[in-house]
Amino acid sequence: MRHLLSTKTISRDEAIVLLDIAEDMADVAGREVKKLPTLRGKTVVNLFFEDSTRTRISFEAAAKRLSADVINFSAKGSSVSKGESLKDTAQTLAAMGADGVVIRHHASGAPLVLAESGWIDAGIINAGDGTHEHPTQALLDAFTIRRRLHGAASRGRDLDGVTVTIVGDVLHSRVARSNLWLLTTLGAQVGFVAPPTLLPADTSAWPATFGFDLDAAIDAGPDVIMMLRIQAERMSASFFPNPREYARGWGLDDERFARLRADSIVMHPGPMNRGLEISSAAADSARSTVLEQVANGVSVRMAALYLLLSGDREDS
Amino acid sequence: MPKERADNVEYLIRGATLPDGTRSDILLAGGRVAELGSGLSRAGASPIDADGLVALPGLVDLHTHLREPGSEQSETVLTGSQAAARGGFTSVFAMANTSPVQDTAGVVEQVLALGEQAGYVTVQPIGAVTVGLAGRQLAELGAMAASRARVRVFSDDGSCVADPLIMRRALEYVKAFDGVIAQHAQDPRLTEKAQMNEGALSAELGLTGWPAVAEESIIARDVLLAEHVGSRLHVCHVSTAGSVDVIRWAKARGINVTAEVTPHHLLLTEELVVGYDARFKVNPPLRRREDVEALRAGLADGTIDIVATDHAPHPTEAKDCEWDAAANGMVGLESALSVVHASVVANGHLDWADVARVLSHTPARIGRLDGQGRRTEVGAPAELTLYDPSASRVFGTGDLSGKGVNSPYLAMTLPGRVQATFHQGYPTVLDGALLPAAEVAAARSEVGHG
Ligand SMILES: [Zn+2]
């Protein structure tokens, strides 16, 4: 794997290899010495054009556990926000000898532009681009689901027949897009539930079902229900009348949580708006994987860095 | 030093194919088409072998961004004129979104004068509809019309005249001098932060959609306004199948509306956005295959009157970046005729007489531009383009003559080639190569003083 830009182009076998390596990485995390020497001498740059402390810390922890040198390049408040271009930044990082660049960018497609530009030769990991994709989030979600369903017997397994309902701001969600492609590639059936204003105008190319009725989706008893975060800026742009009405229609409140199938998994990519898209009872329950997702994020990102940057990576 | 040119330099073009398919020699003398027929001879005239070449009337572009004054790093009147001549154009209408905006007599006269100095093409300034393109208050339309630039086309292009009352007033007001409002049809609220055509692909790519309805609803409103006040409306760069339907309906109803389509909307589709290569970022955006087909059909049946380039040069840094940060627009003058050839001539939608109509006669008529867009007949001004339809080339930066290299066609194989362009009787392009600026300016001043 040369870059990790999107889940759309990842094959089932590639995904399973990555998830299995993440299992190995998770084993390391359980050891007393949590470090591997694998990426000693390699430099990983966290290039964040958008604030996301939790994602940056997760990648930083992953790189350090593999013994890589980590440079955090926060583009917010730096020369970049004063007009330095992506191109100049990339060439600077190339001159500094970056082997891997983890990029978070507000513009959809920026990681692909970086990977194909010739400005820099490093392996590129997309850590979230605009409203396009967030592949490591989808990988950690798949990893989390697989572990919940198959436990210690997870290695080598896919998600064949697993039903996943994703609820909320699908239109603006890179998490939704990356999960759509990855989970369906792994054999899961994905259904989206949202107010009509928060679904794309044309979803005909998405291999999923679409609905507006969360109660019906809950009564259908999905294996997984994933609640997406509602960003503050949606509140004032007439996507829905107000937060109260949104919560009433599309929030996983206590009543809906109580009706959910007893063994359904409750997921959220974080950070959560408690009381809006998810109630505290749901978020903090034993069925919730919110904290596991955080822990698994480090393992999955270790696996991604390993595949991109360790010696035997293909250079084509 | 430019070599001295007598003002009676004459060209005898031998064996050209006229747009109607007939073969003829063409003698250009005294700035006019002096003789037509076979076996012409003229002592002292420079001979040009046009065997196999189509002789089109000099092309007229109703929609060009020349960027001067204000953005001379992108293009100047001179370099834009050179790009135009290279593409077979003898006249361009210069859009008003310069800095300062072309919203006063002074600025339009300045652009006119720069065009005259360059001498490659007739540069006809377009006037802004509203002061500063801000959409609030009418610009001095009458003063621009009465100026030496004789402005007849008014447009806030780049922005839509969104306020219906301002649009109504503008449509009414320009009746006083037979003007036309050229509308950039884009509802601003429906296209906030828009990045590409809204549809299945924008959903996948996570780019904010530019829905077809944002264009179609403005066109629908404007044709009804034009009908109500009995005015003339021109719709810039129509890009959707629905817009073609609305315009077809309006024409059937007798509404005085004309419409243009760009070469890129006739050839390219939104699929090109997949790699986030900002060369394909343009406003209105590239649309679906169905839209391209509807635009071709609309051009063929006359619903769409003309092809106009929307030539929009940008410096490289404006495109060498992530998609959201990139500027909208493509250069189009140099490639226009080849792209029209590829998209609507090669498949039989248009013949060369139609090309003469949509790229010369009708744009000159819509813009009320004298001396351009005339049929090649004895006595007509010597505005002529010789095009080799049998040529084929991989389009590259060497085919560009303006400052901008933001062409979507780089590395694509395009048919045809402009072999020669004549403006006011003198050549601006010969053997496919642009003539030097000093030589053209000298020829121009001979004509001017002749
Ligand atoms: Zn426009």
Q: What is the mean pLDDT of each run of 10 residues along chain B (450 residues)?
A: 55 98 97 96 95 98 97 96 98 98 98 97 98 98 98 98 98 98 98 97 98 98 98 98 98 98 98 97 98 98 98 95 96 98 98 98 98 96 98 97 97 98 97 96 79
- Chain B positions touching A106 (Cβ under 8 A) are 324
Supply the pLDDT for residue B8: 56
Q: Which of B366, B401, B426 is the last residue of a domain?
A: B366
Confidence of residue A85 (pLDDT cuts 50, 70, 90): confident
Residue B157 within a domain: yes
Supply the pLDDT for residue A313: 43
Same domain, B331 and B320: yes
Whole domain around residue B40: which residue ranges?
Answer: 2-55+380-389+414-447
Cross-chain residue pair B207–A174, CB shorter than 8 Å: no
- Chain B positions touching A206 (Cβ under 8 A) are 203-204
Ligand-binding annotation for B328, yes or no, is no
pLDDT in tens, A171-208: 999 999 999 999 999 999 999 999 999 999 999 999 99
ipTM over 0.90: yes
Ligand-binding annotation for B314, yes or no, is yes
- CATH number of the structural domain A12-134+295-309: 3.40.50.1370
Domain A12-134+295-309 matches domain A135-289 at the CATH topology level: yes
- Chain B positions touching A129 (Cβ under 8 A) are 206
Same domain, B21 and B146: no
Residue B18 within a domain: yes
Supply the pLDDT for residue A235: 81
Same domain, B176 and B315: yes
Instruction: Kindly write down the DSSP assignment for every residue of chain A, as one continuous string.
Output: ---B--STT--HHHHHHHHHHHHHHHHHHTSSS----TTTT-EEEEEESS--HHHHHHHHHHHHHTT-EEEEEE-TTSTTTTT--HHHHHHHHHHTT-SEEEEEESSTTHHHHHHHSSS--SEEEEEEETTTB-HHHHHHHHHHHHHHHHGGG-TT---TT-EEEEES--TT-HHHHHHHHHHHHTT-EEEEE--GGGS-S--TTSSSEEES-HHHHHHT--SEEEEPPPPGGGTTTTSSS-HHHHHHHH-B-HHHHHHS-TT-EEE--S---BTTTB-HHHHTSTTB-HHHHHHHHHHHHHHHHHHHHSTT----
Packing angle of the helix pair A174-185, A12-29 (nearest 10 deg): 110
Report the percentage of chain A scoring pLDDT > 70. Answer: 95
CA-nearest residue of chain A to B278? A113
Cross-chain residue pair B275–A112, CB shorter than 8 Å: yes
CB contact B68 to A (< 8 Å): no
User: Residues B296, B344: contact at Cβ < 8 Å?
Assistant: yes
The residue among A149 and A77 whose pLDDT is bigger is A149
Catalytic residue IDs of B: 310
Residue B396 within a domain: no
Same domain, B99 and B172: yes
Same domain, B308 and B352: yes
> Chain A residues with CB-CB distance to B under 8 A?
8, 85-87, 105-110, 112-113, 116, 129-133, 174, 177, 200-206
Whether residue A84 has pLDDT greater than 80:
no
Whether residue A312 has pLDDT greater than 80:
no
- CATH number of the structural domain A135-289: 3.40.50.1370
Same domain, B17 and B92: no
The region that residue A224 occupies, defined by phi over 0 for left and psi between -120 and 50 for alpha, beta otherwise, is beta
Confidence of residue A232 (pLDDT cuts 50, 70, 90): confident
Report the number of distinct structural domains present in chain B.
Answer: 2
Supply the pLDDT for residue A32: 85
Whether residue A78 has pLDDT greater than 90:
no
Domain boundaries, chain A: 12-134+295-309, 135-289
Same domain, B24 and B137: no
Cross-chain residue pair A108–B206, CB shorter than 8 Å: yes
Per residue, the 3-state secondary structure of B47-77, as one string, reads: EEECCCCEEEECEEEEEECCCCCCCCCCCCH
> What CATH number does residue B419 fall under?
2.30.40.10
Residues β-bridged to residue B385 = B56, B421
Q: Which of A131, A172, A199 to mutate to test the interface with B (most CBs of B within 10 A)?
A: A131
Cross-chain residue pair A85–B320, CB shorter than 8 Å: yes
Cross-chain residue pair A202–B321, CB shorter than 8 Å: no
Residue B400 within a domain: no
Whether residue A315 has pLDDT greater than 70:
no
- Chain A positions touching B201 (Cβ under 8 A) are 205
Distance A300 CA to ligand 1 centre (A): 47
Same domain, B225 and B306: yes
Same domain, B142 and B284: yes
Residue B238 within a domain: yes
> What CATH number does residue B111 fall under?
3.20.20.140
Residue B405 within a domain: no
pLDDT, average across residues A286-301: 96
pTM of the predicted protein model: 0.94
Helix (H/G/I), strand (E/B), else coil: B27 = strand
Compute the nearest-CA separation of B276 from chain A (Å).
Answer: 6
Cross-chain residue pair A131–B317, CB shorter than 8 Å: no
Residue B395 within a domain: no
Supply the pLDDT for residue A33: 86
